[in-house]
Amino acid sequence: MTTRRHHRVWYLLGAVLTLVVIVSGLVPSEDLPRLQLSDKFEHLIAYIGLAVWFGGLLPPRRYVQLALALLALGGGIEIAQGLMGLGREADWRDFLADALGVGFGLSLSLAGLQYWASWLEQWPKQR
């Protein structure tokens, strides 16, 4: 893994993305914009995004830890939804969509997207 000049920026943006996932998972659903997508598809896309984002910042040897952390996040949000009583309810199928997203996102990272941050830092490369 190469050292990136802007690693703090990438992690800060990753924290913002994570916060967006947390907030969107906990606020009442009527307070969220309607994307006209299946709720499960939204979960899948969110966790693919988080897995690819952090998969590009961490070395592959840390992917198991990343997967466990993202699964804990998804499970924690589902548990919180069930306990909060704000019109949201825990759904194991949402957690399954999260898990599929994590698996697919880390697979994309292993297939080459793990270098996205380095690519962005080198682009546009003047020769």
Going residue by residue through the chain (127 aa), what tens digit of pLDDT does each one get? 455 678 899 999 999 999 999 999 988 877 777 777 888 999 999 999 999 999 999 999 999 999 999 999 999 999 999 998 777 889 999 999 999 999 999 999 999 999 998 888 888 775 5
pTM passes above 0.85: yes
Placement of tokens 């009583």 in the chain: 85
**pLDDT reported for residue 3:** 58
Residue 126 pLDDT: 53
Q: Are 25 and 97 in contact (CB under 8 A)?
A: no
For CA atoms 69, 74, 78, 81, give the dihedral sign. Answer: positive
Residues sharing a CB contact under 8 Å with residue 109, sequence separation 6 or more, in sequence order: 51, 52, 55, 56, 60, 63
